[in-house]
Structure 1
């Protein structure tokens, strides 16, 4: 029979366990305290509301696992939405072509960030802060103060839905996000590439001495993250069929929140994408539940901030116990 101490140590060693328990507790609390939260339609809506943040957080997780951070991910996604929508609307390009252009630009920006971080050995925080400023400005210049409605079915495809068992609304965006998380989970846990990502995040010098090409691994992570940000832009156009240069202003921080709440360490080398998915759902559940309970948005921000600080404190504590 396991002791309480052994159980607590197991939870600390398994980053996704704590967030999973927190998600179940949050759902249970709001199911009891509100009349409308625990319904099929609302739970489906909660998942839909987590799509963009969840997709951005997936790319953010890869970067944070390498002991980096990406403050520009949401700005990159916004620029990609503008490119997709404007290319289709004003330049009459087929939706698939506009989509590919947006994803390719997001990928190129991810590659640029990764190149600067790896070859010039600059702190990711500083590089991505600069990239955030640049990309935000470029997006607003490109939009010229306008927003662009989605006019092509391909760009809004992820917002289309089917009904499971005739009752549960499932959008194509939900299916895509789940598939992306499964692929990322497999890559991180079952391939040499995933082991390299964790090794670089734990100790880049030790990784280099063990034969891992650290720069190539880091660059690959930022490129893959860029692809994911481009897909997040597609998710955003499926959720709201309008490309707005002022959208997603805090989604870079919300993506970091989802990653941290999900148990991934900001110090790198520890965490899982499953935890991040749960973290994104926790953020969406809190927003929905507190709104239905009549709690002001400012207090919702306070609650989210407390969760982030608590998650980082638990991470520091668990790391200290492992040493």
Structure 2
């Protein structure tokens, strides 16, 4: 047994940000540097194409547009770091949004309690994901593909395909803004940024966060070190879906309604942000700051193309190309690391 533990310790991944080979341009800093450089290049390009791009108001608009996707991507990052994936994040967000708004508007439930119930409804999906992945040993792709359809159906059944309006002020408060100079900043944008900072702290400065990297890099070695991998995975899926519930509130605050048709493409956009941010789809490597940069790349790209008058279909085309390039780079990096 002692030999197994020593072997596991040797196989265990380094602390996030530590370079396995000691190279100068590897580890967390390099994983973040690439996406950051790409973001700067995209910004530089659009600055030359439109005099409206480089303004505080425009950048505030970009962040408002990506705050929902960015928040979803935080939860998606936690799961992808464990070598899993969540195809249902957008549908779960939509379901949580409908639950909280309908309870508050037509159910007579106090707004704050309705909000908590909506987030708990999202969390229930996380528990289901965790149990099916760890106890039944189903692949995360299959589990979340199934719950995507379940959440989508439940959203439309419960809402009766009706948009929920006339919301309590609690649900729209994060859509309010304040000004710094001539730039309007919404409270929802600040919440999103705060969630990224909190996620960065948890992943890089806490034992629980480091175990996420360990599970994604080598779950068997992590288990031999005495860590309950299954319990941690269930908790990771639960935390991710609770974050989706917060994303639902941000979406409601931005649109002012509970929309049963929300979340139909947000799952792919969240995965795109994670991949563009340098997080490996094979698990064990990536940063949540990279995810923020990835979300901003998508937001800047779409905003800049709109300012240039480019048709929206080309935005989808270019985003797809970028995803393939990002995964290709990741695959090459993994091959060189072996």
TM interval, shorter chain, is over 0.9
Residue 111 of structure 1: CA displacement?
Answer: 1.1
Does the CA-based 8 Å contact 2:90-2:266 persist in structure 1? yes
Residue of structure 1 equivalent to 2:164: 148
Find the partner of 2:233 among 218, 233, 245.
Answer: 218
Show the counterpart of 1:3.
none
- The whole-number CA distance in structure 1 between the counterparts of 2:336 and 2:133 is 31
Please state whether the residue corresponding to 1:237 is helix, strand or coil: helix
What's 2:49 paired with? Answer: 33
Q: In structure 1, the residue corresponding to 2:52 is in which secondary structure?
A: coil
What are the residue-to-residue correspondences of 1:147-296 with 2, within 5 Å? 147-164=163-180, 166-296=181-311
Q: Give yes or no for contact 1:263–1:311 (8 Å, CA) kept in 2.
A: yes
Partner of 2:94: 78
> What stretches of structure 1 move > 3 A for 4+ residues in a row?
6-13
Counterpart residue number, 1:90: 106
Structure 1 unpaired stretches of 5+: 1-5
Measured in 2, the distance between the counterparts of 1:226 and 1:298 equals 30
Is the aligned partner of 1:320 residue 2:335? Answer: yes
Judge which range, 181-190 or 261-270, deviates more: 181-190
SS of residue matched to 1:308:
helix
* 1: CA distance, partners of 2:48 / 2:27: 26
| TM-score, normalised relative to structure 1 | 0.95
Kindly state the Cα deviation for residue 248 of structure 1 after the two structures are TM-superposed: 2.1
Kept in 2, the 8 Å contact 1:85–1:150? The answer is: no
Count how many residue pairs are aligned between Structure 1 and Structure 2: 317
Query: Is 2:279–2:286's contact at 8 Å kept on the other side of the alignment?
Result: yes
Aligned residue number for residue 128 of structure 2: 112
Question: 2:179 aligns to what SS in structure 1?
Answer: strand
1:83 CA displacement: 1.0
Query: 1:46 pairs with 54, 62, 73, which one?
Result: 62
Q: Is the 8 A contact 2:32 2:277 kept in 1?
A: yes
Q: Residues 119-153 of structure 1, C-alpha deviation per residue, up to 9 Å, x if partnerless?
A: 11110000000000111001111111211114201
Match of 1:130 among 146, 170, 175: 146
Query: For the residues of structure 1 that align with 2:294 and 2:126, how far apart are their CA atoms?
Result: 23
3-state SS in 1 of match to 2:184: strand
Please list every run of 5 or more consecutive structure 2 residues that lacks an aligned counterpart in the other structure. Answer: 1-21
Residue in structure 1 matched with residue 320 of structure 2 by the alignment:
305
User: Which SS does the other structure have where 2:190 is aligned?
Assistant: helix
Deviation string 1:273-319 (CA, Å, 9 cap, x unpaired) is 00000001111101100111111111111100010000001111111
Cα 1:11/1:219, change in 2 over 3 Å: closer
Task: Name the SS for the 1:14 alignment partner.
Answer: helix
TM-score (norm 2): 0.91
Residue 8 of structure 1 and its aligned partner are, at CA, apart by 8.6
Q: 1:7 to 1:218 in 2, by over 3 A?
A: closer
Once residues 188 and 273 of structure 1 are traced to their aligned partners in structure 2, the CA distance between those partners, rounded to angstroms, is 8
TM superposition shift of 1:10: 3.7
| CA apart distance, 1:94 | 2.2
Does residue 18 (structure 1) correspond to residue 37 (structure 2)? The answer is no
